[in-house]
Amino acid sequence: MKIHFNHLKNFLPEEINIETVSDYLFQLGHEHEIDNDTFDIEFTPNRGDCLSLMGLSRDLNSLCESAFPYSVYEEEILNLNFNFENNDSDTLDKITFLYVEINQNKIKEYENYLQSFFSDFDIKKNNFFTDISNYLAYETGLPTHCYDYEKIYGKLSFESSSVNSEFETLLDTKIQLTGTNSYFKIDNDIVNLAGVMGGKATSCSKNTHKVLIECAHFNPEAIIGKTIKYGLNSEAAYKFERGVDRYAQEFNLRRFIKIISDHTDIIDLKIFSKDYKESTKTILPYNPENISKIIGYEFDNDDIMKKLVSIGFKFGEGEIISPSFRSDIFSENDIAEEILRIIGYDNIPKKEFSININKASKDLIERKFKSYLASYGFTEVINFPFSSFSRNESIKIDNPIDSNKPFMRNSLIDSLIQNTIYNENRNKDSIKLYEISDVYKKNPDLVSERFLTIAVSGRLGNNLKDFNKKLDKEFLIEIFKKLRIDVSKYISEIDRSKYDSKLKNKLYVMEMPFHVINQSIDFIDSVEIVKSKDHEYKEISEFPIVYRDLSFKIMYEKDIDQFCEKIMNSETKNLCEIFMFDYFKDKDNVSKLAFRFIFQSNEKTLTDKEVDFEIKEIIEANIVKDLIEIPGLDKLNLDEL
């Protein structure tokens, strides 16, 4: 909710500045950002009482003295003889109607307090009564709804029922009401969607001079979800959902009258009020010792009591009475939170303690197994469980985020194949992935099982030993042989034609229940856990890699070490990886070393010319003529680059 500091300032001590108020708001739990002297506050859902200038300043009163700066209409108001029928007093438990007739021709320019609401927030004015209603909700937090009295053509009543009819809102939008709704109607016509938005049929206009102003208290549960259901944006609903003060209706309407009278002459004024529920107060035991135990800190009780009074609480003999606007206070723990907010959470010292409880042994098998797989170059992936495939036992999501994926996967294989193809498309030529995750089935009850799934494709590894070997079924069998587990029955080769994959590499997957690993618990238990390190993350590029292979002929063995050192430390703008993939010594003892240089830019797809230029830089930095030759170098035409 947006609250302008200039408006709030009227309720606070004159000398206070925005930074101090900001600090106080954080202390009280009202997280916010400040933009152009406006607090954009994210109130917690239990603090509906703070959704106004009056409410927020009231909450600040424990930290800085605040006061309501405006006056209200204080004269006696005659009763309105009004035939209103409430058919659902569980939802509408208190209502007040105010009838006002004004001299419509004498409306003055808006007073500063009213004008600044529209100008500081850049809100479009509507008509006199609606403007006051909108402002008043901001000032006091109680929404009101204005009916053009001359448009009330029959008996006004309230009810909740299942409906299926079109409703035109006062914002000219037509919505189709479905399911159970709470609404006001005139005879059989719905004229106001309760607590959400009024209807076009009875809305006020610039010509309205007789108005019926409704100030009601609805059960929040009847309002929740309605704005989302009907795609409406309603400040009133936001407030009703969080709870408004059911006992402040008359005060609110008296303030409404005062604002009217600040701007025009009032010709007639009448009020109708009905409370359908016995009035109750929240009274809780007040024992400072108990509360100190919850907080873990002994506070100055006299000071705290004074401050609790300043924010509306009252005290009786050993008890505390919560103000009517605090619908979130139910227990001693709630009072403890109030006291904590007054003291400041950050001012409570931390208290050391020890947990003298027998620790259960940690289940480290999965973690150790992951470390084992990491030693073979496997990378763990985690996928979302949503799937487009339905198998017999698939669980269906009622409200999927993607309608194309309405099922919970009961195999991890499809996810792993997609992960492999994704990385192949990024020119990765040695892919070893795995995922360990629960999958869910309906059998007939919901059952879960933890699966291990592996996918491999491409070279065994990008190193001198493995470069020319392929990842295959035997590789997987070999890894698990050490664990004395025969996994051959779990491995299958994937038919790529079913997937969007043009590569011809063989792609193998393996899926088995994770509990199979327990067969090898002794071996796994001896595996050392890979501890996490401090990682320095570098943003990844979305552009493809480009590689160049170069073979170097080294005349004298004594030069190999230094050459390798230099070549591995090569640096160019887009060089990101180097590895040796071939070594050969001929009959004359001349060594041939082949390196792969991998380039990738964060900004674009590299052209051949750009890569060749960087290759030239590497060669020029490393080659010592007469000692090192690069077969085929002449074909590269480096001089032209």
Partner 1 sequence: MSSDSDISNIIKRFEIKETGSIHPINQLKYEIFDLLNSLGFSIIDGPEIESEKYNFDLLNIKESHPARQMHDTFYVEDKGYVLRTHTSPVQVRAMLREKPPFAYISGGKVYRKDDDATHLPMFHQIEGILIDKEISFSNLKYIIYKIISSLFGEETQIRFRPSYFPFTEPSAEVDILSKDKKWLEILGCGVINPIVLKNCNIDPKSFSGLAFGLGVERIAMLKYGVKDIRDFYKSNLDFLKQFK
Smallest gap from Cβ 357 to partner 1, in A, equals 6
Smallest gap from Cβ 600 to partner 1, in A, equals 8
Strand partners, 236: none
The token pair at 106 is: 């004498």
Smallest gap from Cβ 103 to partner 1, in A, equals 44
Closer to partner 1 at the Cβ: 69 or 513?
A: 513
The label of the residue with tokens 């392929």 reads: 470
Smallest gap from Cβ 177 to partner 1, in A, equals 18
Q: Is the peptide bond before 385 cis (omega within 30 degrees of 0)?
A: no
Closer to partner 1 at the Cβ: 113 or 299?
A: 299
Closer to partner 1 at the Cβ: 146 or 291?
A: 291
Q: What are phi and psi of 302, to 5 degrees?
A: -60, -45
Measured CA to CA, the distance from residue 472 to residue 172 in angstroms comes to: 66
Which residues make Cβ contacts (< 8 Å) with residue 352, sequence separation at least 6? none
Closer to partner 1 at the Cβ: 225 or 631?
A: 225
Measured CA to CA, the distance from residue 381 to residue 386 in angstroms comes to: 15
Smallest gap from Cβ 577 to partner 1, in A, equals 10
Smallest gap from Cβ 490 to partner 1, in A, equals 20
Q: How far separated are the first and last CA of the chain, in Å rounded?
A: 61
Measured CA to CA, the distance from residue 159 to residue 154 in angstroms comes to: 16
Helix, strand or coil, per DSSP, at residue 286: coil
R_g over Cα of the chain: 37
DSSP 333-349: HHHHHHHHHHH-GGGSP
Answer left, alpha or beta for residue 290, where phi above 0 means left and psi between -120 and 50 means alpha. alpha
Measured CA to CA, the distance from residue 381 to residue 434 in angstroms comes to: 6
Strand partners, 302: none
Closer to partner 1 at the Cβ: 139 or 435?
A: 435
Closer to partner 1 at the Cβ: 477 or 580?
A: 580
Closer to partner 1 at the Cβ: 481 or 585?
A: 585
Closer to partner 1 at the Cβ: 26 or 276?
A: 26
Helix, strand or coil, per DSSP, at residue 251: helix
Q: Note whether 572 and 618 are within 8 A (CB).
A: yes
Closer to partner 1 at the Cβ: 401 or 571?
A: 401
What's the half-sphere exposure (Cβ side, CA atoms, 13 Å) at 596?
15
The token pair at 308 is: 């609790």
The token pair at 108 is: 């003055």
Closer to partner 1 at the Cβ: 295 or 503?
A: 295
Instruction: Name the burial class of residue 453, with classes exposed (0-12), middle (13-18) and buried (19+) by CB atoms within 10 angstroms of its CB.
Output: buried
Closer to partner 1 at the Cβ: 440 or 613?
A: 440
As a residue count, the chain comes to: 641
CA distances from 527 to 130, 483, 512, 522 (A): 72, 11, 21, 9
Measured CA to CA, the distance from residue 271 to residue 273 in angstroms comes to: 7
Closer to partner 1 at the Cβ: 123 or 348?
A: 348
Measured CA to CA, the distance from residue 143 to residue 270 in angstroms comes to: 19
Closer to partner 1 at the Cβ: 81 or 532?
A: 532
Smallest gap from Cβ 480 to partner 1, in A, equals 16
Smallest gap from Cβ 540 to partner 1, in A, equals 5
Q: How many other CB atoms sit within 10 Å of the CB of residue 30?
A: 22
Measured CA to CA, the distance from residue 194 to residue 631 in angstroms comes to: 84
Measured CA to CA, the distance from residue 286 to residue 290 in angstroms comes to: 8
